[in-house]
Amino acid sequence: MITCFYSAEDPYVSLNTTEETLENGNLVEGTSGYRNTVNVKFAKVESRSKAKLKIIDGVELVEEQIYEKRVLKSLDAYWVDMWAVNGDVVPSMKVLEAWNLGYSGRGIYIAVVDSGIDIYHEDLRVNMRSSYHYDFVSDDGDPSPVGSVTHGTNCAGLVGAEKDNNQCIAGIAYNANLVGIRLISILGTTDVMDGTALSHEQSTIDIYTNSWGSEDGHGFNSIRTYTYAAIEQGIRTGRNGKGNIYVFAAGNGGLDDNCNGDAFTRSRYIITISSINSDGVSATYAEVCTPALAVAYGGGGGTNKYLYSTSPMDLCTGRHGGTSFSAPQAAAIIALTLEANPQLTWRDVQHLIVRTSKKHDLLGRKYNWQINGANLSVHPVLGFGLMDAEAMVKTAQTWRNVPIQCTYTSLTQNPHRDLKDVALRLF
């Protein structure tokens, strides 16, 4: 069928042929021979009820085009600035597509372990779960930031800011339950503080998002004893035995630094996330980071776009950039994935990220993509590519759990043999 559309408000002009008259959308005269050709042009309209049209042969239906109101995908004040989510840049993290499938993080608990969160922010308070908040710096139940510190509130907004409330932005997991954990301050942290924060409410919290770590460029360090035990416990018993999900930012030391030196980011229990800019190139601050599983948009750097998010005192601010802001977005995408399949284990989530992240045409400064032993493209800065929320939730729906992770440690033997004697025997 070939259709000719017209609009009384915005008339078009057709090429010449037989003039026809429409009344209430129906052809009433001169209809002979109008089914025979394939080229159709729009016609000029004089009124809604009675339209004078110039119709080319071949038209089977003429339909009035009426303007209908169209709205943005979100009513949030800064939706147009949410380029990492709203489809303004290519490639996309496919968040809108995951939302359209019905996933918003509902039922998932995400702890934002950071420098404090404004739990009363107009764009956050609906999703805050006050009975689980804690401040491990002041040792009380109020994780609010002190002074002008904004970092934790910025991260929280990217995770779970309320959607369609005319406030600031919409978090990727805009229906998730948010838990504020204040851990970071100018005092630093102890082993017990780190471990207690990362095991806080382990049976309730599904995901811990962390945009902090060791200082950039300060060599190698290890996860301290208590903290390591706490994370291992979360992996083994958290989420009713399916394992808590720990997400960490890769770090902002640039290519002269290496995230392998950070104890948390190189742990097999941690999902490490790095950043790309809006132009599809690894961010200038992104480190060499072989533990990185994937990247999310981080914002900032040169002429690239920055991210907008919530700030204390009901503010909404821009110029946010860094792996600190990629990790919360990754945690939120994982929340959508757990909503799609609550039975996923911590290992399943890592497999899904690896299998669904996309290489696209992403460029890593200085380094090139390689093919690993599993025949997958991997990059020493970009991991397995840009996270894809739609692919994550779709794949999760039918995912079969991978086996539990097994390790084997052999006995260490000391034969008390002279190495020179061994060498002589070998050669």
Determine the pLDDT at residue 73. Answer: 58
Active site residue 164: no
Integer CA distances (angstroms), 32 to 38, 42, 55, in order: 16, 19, 12
**Torsion angle of the four alpha carbons 137, 139, 143, 144, in this order, in degrees rounded to the nearest 10:** -70
Which one, of 292, 289, 300, 278, lies nearest residue 363 by Cα? 278
> Known catalytic residue: 151?
yes
Residues 6+ apart with CB under 8 A from 146: 116, 185
Provide the whole-model pTM.
0.81
| Residue 114 appears among annotated catalytic residues | yes
- Neighbour-count burial of 57, counting CB atoms closer than 10 A to its CB (0-12 exposed, 13-18 middle, 19+ buried): middle
51, β-bridge pairs = 22
Say what angle helices 389-397 and 323-340 make with each other, to 10 degrees.
30
Give the per-residue pLDDT at 423. 46
Domains in the chain, please, with CATH? Answer: 1-70 (no CATH), 79-397 (3.40.50.200)
The pLDDT of residue 33: 35
pLDDT at 53: 47
Q: Quick one: pLDDT at residue 113?
A: 98
Instruction: Tell me which residue of 343, 347, 296 sits closest to 322, measured CA to CA.
Output: 296
Selecting among 324, 326, 348, 388, the annotated active-site residue is 324
Residues of the chain with pLDDT under 70: 1-64, 66-73, 217-219, 301-302, 415-427
Q: Which of 76, 81, 118, 151 is catalytic?
A: 151
In the prediction, which pLDDT does 289 show?
Answer: 94
Q: Which residues contact 201 (CB under 8 A, 6 or more apart)?
A: 109, 111, 132, 179
Catalytic residue, candidates 14, 74, 104, 114? 114
